[in-house]
Amino acid sequence: MSKQLHENIVLYDKKFAPFIPYSEIKERVAALANRMRKEYEGNNNLVFLVVLNGAFMFAAELLGELDVNGVVSFIKLSSYRGNSTTGVVDDVLGLDCNIEGRTVVIIEDIVDTGITMQHLLDSLKKKHPARVDIATMFFKPESFRGNYEVKFVAMELPKEFIVGFGLDYDGLGRNYKDIYKLVNERG
């Protein structure tokens, strides 16, 4: 029997409490798919770029509802972290289709500060796509510091750390279909 949403989950040393049931996620994704269908219907030059690992559940749900023709491709971002304040340089791995002159739709699990997405946009631009749009399951408007448009958002979130529906805490939690949020334990 699957885990009931009223139960907390424990990942490593952290406790996570039920936050958003899959039923709501499903509704939000279906609503987003309706908006996106209107945008992309008739576009015969579409590439959906799914960002692994986090977006696997969102992509399956979204693309299953979308009903438009497009190539589906999967990429990974590798982060090379400097050992001090050099920050993060993300590299795109596994892009196996030509995006030149095409409409690219990035499918991401979450845009938080937007820095990761900025790196991805920068590296895709070098391959001369006609246009790049972003579709994300979650968006944290209070954290976002980017100056680009996040065109398609299934759901906005407050500044909470969440897991489930593809999102992880250090590799765990991705496989739960409901969303759980970190319980801040004080005192």
Measured from the CB of residue 26, what is the shortest distance to ligand IMP in angstroms? Answer: 19
- 7-26 binders of Mg ion (CB under 5 A): none
Question: Is residue 54 within the footprint of Mg ion (CB under 5 A)?
Answer: yes
Q: Is 109 a catalytic residue?
A: no
Buried b (16+ CB within 10 A) or exposed e, 77-101: beeeeeeeeeeeebebeebeeebee
Residue 115 near which of Mg ion, ligand IMP, none (CB within 5-8 Å, type-dependent): ligand IMP
Q: List residues binding ligand IMP (CB under 6 A).
A: 54, 110-117, 161-163, 167
Return the one option of ligand IMP, Mg ion, none that residue 154 interacts with (CB less than 5 to 8 A, by type).
none
- Minimum separation from the CB atom of position 97 to ligand IMP (A): 22
Catalytic residue IDs:
112
